Structure 1
Amino acid sequence: MQEQQGVADVAGQARRAPMQPVVSDRLDSLFGGLSARKRIAVCQLPVSATVGLVVLAAAAFSPATLASNLFMSALLFHVAIAAACVAIPWGRLPASAFAVIPLLDCLAIGFTREAGGPAFSVLSVTLLFPVIWLSAQVRPYMPVLAIVGTVLSTVAPSFLQGSVPAGGSMIRVLILPLVMAVVAVSAHVVATTLRRHRARIVQDEQDLARTLDESVRRQGLLDAVLKAVGVGVWVVDARGRTVLANKAMRTDPALAGVVDPSGGQGLLMADRCTPVPAGLLPAARAAAGDAFADELYWAGPPERQHAYSVSSHGFPPVGGQGAGAVITFVDVTSLVSALAAKDDFVATVSHELRTPLTSILGYLELVLDEPGHEDVREELNVVRRNAEHLLNLVNDLIAVASERVDLSLEETDLARLLALEVDAAQPKAAGNGLQLVLEAEEPLPARVDPERISQVFRNLLSNAIKYSPNGGTITARALSTGSGMACSITDTGLGMTAEEQEQAFTKFFRSARSRETAIPGAGLGLPVSKTIVEGHGGSISLDSEPGVGTTATFILPHA
């Protein structure tokens, strides 16, 4: 839980405290907050500052230059351009109107260079400022204007002085615009690339911010769900170490020793006293990749033990995070107690019913043995059959309630027991239009309780007949295999869904189809058969498909 809280804290801080801006971000923020007039003035500032340095240099090293009217006119041209940057309301003009300023700068630089003579030819480098200013714009025609301005700066001063460039001046007229053209194109390409890269960065930052907000929202939702749910949730990594445990898991006293083994008593087996071996603990099983569901464990001190239905679901490594498993603990103490109370009630009532039924059958036998009742003997036999049926039902209730049966083992031929039950079921099967087929190895010796195994055969054959209302074939098989004595009853009847097969051995369970078609039964045949087979050390299973049929198979160990 501490790790989960740490993730939430980091995410919250990241949302509350934006990333520290770099120098370029601060400059962009400062420049973007200026008005159009101030932005033009700031862009003009490098040229104005350079001209100021030129004046200082001329005053210090060439005072005669300042006496030149042409030079002073060029300086006044620069001053007028700077004043225009501040005086003109650029925000009211079209966005590209500012281009006139760098073009005039090119002319002014050319006039200043010509007026200053050879000593001021270095001013050609100053053309970089207006050229880059124009070329860095979004509009593709701006680099062309920058090249035009460079050409004007080399040609216009000569024409205004009434002379034609020649000799060394022609070299400058040709080379300087060409160099500035390369600079203009390069500046435009670099500026466009940087602008696109910045746009991608801004978009990525926005996407990251949205992802972070969504992550924080989901984290908050997860926190709320984990705190609100009454189920204990325990997340472990691939080594079985705790990654997360919700409030219900940490505050349950009975589970104190589960998350932290040193914090109290651990889990107990179904007998409520045997500690679960280390290798069978939920975290160890989850770390080993074992997925399980609804397994019963007990926890807590003897006087306050709680039952938990434990499930584990693994998850694969995602996004750099390792694999692990989510283990849930559902407190089912009340349900287990209710089921135990139900079984106790069924067992108690069944015992109470068996005594009078046994007495009724005893007196019926006495009456039937005495002469003089020939006129009601048929009715008395009906009463006896129904009383015996009711007694058998009560015995089944006692068996499923106690989940054990008393067995009297003896050497028996399973094939013979199955043949007898098949013969007994033939009339009922024929009445339902069914063909009953026996396939058995003879002899098939086994050490079993003959009466109880015959009861299993009867239950399975009865189910096969009842759930095959449209005729068909029922095949009874018994054979010896490497794993034991295998007996199966196969029908071609209604069949069961996967969900119904999972509950088929539950006490009193009956499928929806059997209820809809009013097929008689109490839902005890399969549970009783399971109890008897497992009492012999065997196992029983079902294989069914709706509309195709069902095969019930039980395997008993060899004698």
Structure 2
Amino acid sequence: MTVDRWLGRIPLDSPSVFLKLVPTLVGFVIALGLTFIPGVMSAHLPVFIVGATAVMIGALLLALLVPWRRVGPRWTVAVPLVAMASIALMRIGTGGSTSAIGVILLLPFVWIATEEGRRNIVIAAVGIFVVLLGPILVDHDATSPADLLRAFFSPVIYLIVAAVVNEIAHRSRVQLAASRAVAAQREELLEQAQRTQDELVLNEARLKTANRLIQSIWNAVTEQSVIGTDLDGVIDVWNPGAEKMLGLTEAQVVGHDRRVIEFHLVSELEDRLRDMDARFTTVVSADDFSALVDTVRAGYADVRDWTYVRADGKQVPVQVAATPRIDENGHRVGFIFVATDMTQAREFARLKDEFVGLISHELRTPLSSILGYLELMRDDDEAPLSDEQLQYLGVAERNAHRLLRLVGDLLFTAQVESGRFPIDITDAELRSVVSASVESARPGAAAAGVALVMEVPDEPVDVRGDTVRLGQAVDNLVSNALKFTPAGGSVTVSLRRDRDEAVVAVTDTGIGIPAVELSQLSQRFFRASTATRNAVPGVGLGLTITKAIVTAHGGRLDIASEEGVGTSISLHLPIETPAPVAEAVPGAEAAP
């Protein structure tokens, strides 16, 4: 049995008054029994012994019958006081000051002194004083000076003893309460530790299951390359798909300070860096990780086409989705690059482009023939058509021309994808190109209720380029701006010099484009969600053609838009002689 449990059994603050009375009751019964033995303890005044017995019985009944739990512990001292009165009567009846029964007084005295509260010190001392004074009051003639001295001096000693006993009991209660609190806290900690251990065991089992599942999934990802890096681009994650795609095992890459840019084409990294900041006048170092994660650092996921270079030097066209790696505190600790092999997709696209180009080329001949015969019917003076027939003929001509333009656009995009489309580089004056596009679009702008504004400088702006193709690019931008601008809005077409560049900007106050869709605008057949929601007609080829033309002239296409506010698209063309991206096809027929 521990000390704490042993102390817990001491009835210092026990609500059981009867248990506290038992020692006094036993002592009284023993003293009462001794009075019946001749020569041991004589009964001088039997009436007091009877009275003492009656009073002790009253104390017993008081301890048993009173609901002390409801009355409160402060009133329980009434029982030892009654017991003390019983012992006082017994003491008077068995010899008074000379009676040996007085020693039993210590039992109720200690009981009262150990109760909580300093007032019980005084109660215990006063009780002793009354008991010692009793024989003197009953038989004062037989009282000696020593009895008087004892009656008045002994309570002082008892008072001191009561104070000491009360303090010891108080400290014992404090220590007991502290021990119980510590024990309760220990029990609670043990229970909590047990619960924590059970949770840890359960979580460990769950973690093992999750790890096995993740490992199974990780090993199953063999068609996509997953590469993880730190903030500087050093590779620390390399999945089986990366092993298959790039020809290196995880052991050959992870832990060897290999960087992800080592598996990219240098030329593509340089082009990307130039696009990020067109103000660069020298070749930017290809060993710049920013080319891959600039968009991700800005807080956006980035999906872009790249070319991976395998360990054996073979090039693999891929589409890479770059995302940040986040720790448990929400801090970015690196990047994840998920790449999909686009070799088959590119081959399918090439075959599709060849098919589209073939079909488009074959469609042009019958369409041109149809338009020719429609023109002959309109100009036939020998058999003139009625007004109604001319109206029908006009509808047929407009639709035939529309179909011919669409076929031309399809043929042009197919030529762009193949890397060869017709372009004739000469001296081109952009003021006339912009003016021609604006004047051609004015009737449509007036019909749509859109203000068309042109801002061109007074001095010429000359570039080296294909006037027809540049005019086609500007026409596409103006046409798009008018289509996406509601009545009452405005479209501004401006031309300016910006150091060594000529900039043609088309700005509208139309429906705008969501920011997440801006990077996809130049893809073939892509249409913004705002266009589909507002049922704006089109097939999604205009910007594809425009970007191809601008790129062929060594320039770039910048797009800025805010949904519900408007869009601004600008063509940046070098004023010096460009190195055309697309090779001119001698003798090729230009698509309209």
Q: Tell me the TM-score range normalised by the shorter chain.
A: 0.5 to 0.7
SS of 2:527's partner is coil
Summarize deviations over 1:18-57 as a string: whole Å, max 9, x none: xxxxxx9x766x7799999xx99xxx9xxx9xxxxxxxxx
Is 1:280 aligned to residue 286 of structure 2?
no
Equivalence for 2:498: 481
Instruction: Give, in whole Å, the separation in 2 of the partners of 1:227 and 1:151.
Output: 79
Q: TM-score, normalised by structure 2?
A: 0.57
| Structure 2 CA distance for partners of 1:331 and 1:543, relative to 1, 3 Å | closer
SS of 1:332's partner is strand
Matching of residues 416-431 of structure 1 within 5 Å? 416-431=432-447
Aligned 8 A contact 2:234 2:257 in 1: no
Matching of residues 40-439 of structure 1 within 5 Å? 142=116, 147=121, 151=125, 165=150, 169-189=154-174, 191-192=176-177, 224=209, 227-228=212-213, 230=217, 249=239, 253-254=243-244, 256=250, 260-262=254-256, 269=263, 271=265, 280=289, 293-295=301-303, 298=308, 309-315=321-327, 325=333, 327-330=335-338, 332-333=340-341, 336-337=342-343, 339-360=345-366, 374=380, 385-386=401-402, 388-399=404-415, 401-402=417-418, 407-439=423-455
Equivalent of residue 450 in structure 1, options 467, 484, 488: 467
Instruction: Give, in whole Å, the separation in 2 of the partners of 1:411 and 1:304.
Output: 38
Instruction: Give, in whole Å, the separation in 2 of the partners of 1:261 and 1:183.
Output: 70
SS of 1:488's partner is strand
| Structure 2 CA distance for partners of 1:213 and 1:291, relative to 1, 3 Å | farther
Summarize deviations over 1:334-375 as a string: whole Å, max 9, x none: xx3564245223311122124324544776799899999747
Instruction: Give, in whole Å, the separation in 2 of the partners of 1:213 and 1:533.
Output: 67
SS of 2:525's partner is coil
1:490 shift after superposition:
1.8
| Structure 2 CA distance for partners of 1:404 and 1:207, relative to 1, 3 Å | farther
| Structure 2 CA distance for partners of 1:348 and 1:317, relative to 1, 3 Å | same
Gaps of 5+ in 2: 24-39, 42-67, 85-96, 137-146, 271-285, 577-592
CA RMSD in angstroms comes to 6.4
Q: How many residue pairs are counted as aligned between the two chains? A: 471
Q: Higher Cα Rg: structure 1 or 2?
A: 2
Aligned 8 A contact 2:121 2:166 in 1: yes
1:312 shift after superposition:
1.3
1:499 shift after superposition:
3.8
1:461 shift after superposition:
0.8
Instruction: Give, in whole Å, the separation in 2 of the partners of 1:543 and 1:410.
Output: 30
1:266 shift after superposition:
6.3
Equivalence for 1:78: none
Instruction: Give, in whole Å, the separation in 2 of the partners of 1:146 and 1:251.
Output: 86
In the alignment, residue 411 of structure 2 is paired with which amino acid?
Answer: N
Larger CA deviation: 522-531 vs 179-188: 179-188
In the alignment, residue 311 of structure 1 is paired with which amino acid?
Answer: T
Gaps of 5+ in 1: 1-23, 49-68, 71-92, 108-113, 135-140
Instruction: Give, in whole Å, the separation in 2 of the partners of 1:275 and 1:447.
Output: 27
1:316 shift after superposition:
7.8
Matching of residues 25-44 of structure 1 within 5 Å? none
Summarize deviations over 1:77-106 as a string: whole Å, max 9, x none: xxxxxxxxxxxxxxxx97999x99xx89x9
Q: TM-score, normalised by structure 1?
A: 0.60
Summarize deviations over 1:168-219 as a string: whole Å, max 9, x none: 6454223222233344444445555665576667667767776777677667
Summarize deviations over 1:402-427 as a string: whole Å, max 9, x none: 47756443332222211111111112
1:529 shift after superposition:
1.9
| Structure 2 CA distance for partners of 1:510 and 1:265, relative to 1, 3 Å | closer
Using the aligned pairs only, state the percent identity: 21
In the alignment, residue 573 of structure 2 is paired with which amino acid?
Answer: L
Instruction: Give, in whole Å, the separation in 1 of the partners of 2:520 and 2:10.
Output: 78
Summarize deviations over 1:120-154 as a string: whole Å, max 9, x none: 9xxx9x99x9899x7xxxxxx74569858975997
Instruction: Give, in whole Å, the separation in 2 of the partners of 1:191 and 1:542.
Output: 80
Summarize deviations over 1:58-79 as a string: whole Å, max 9, x none: xxxxxxxxxxx99xxxxxxxxx
| Structure 2 CA distance for partners of 1:295 and 1:384, relative to 1, 3 Å | closer
Equivalent of residue 538 in structure 2, options 502, 521, 528: 521
1:539 shift after superposition:
3.1
Equivalence for 1:494: 511
In the alignment, residue 429 of structure 1 is paired with which amino acid?
Answer: A
Equivalence for 2:59: none
In the alignment, residue 321 of structure 2 is paired with which amino acid?
Answer: S
Instruction: Give, in whole Å, the separation in 2 of the partners of 1:421 and 1:454.
Output: 7
Summarize deviations over 1:323-344 as a string: whole Å, max 9, x none: 55264454533xx356424522
1:260 shift after superposition:
1.3
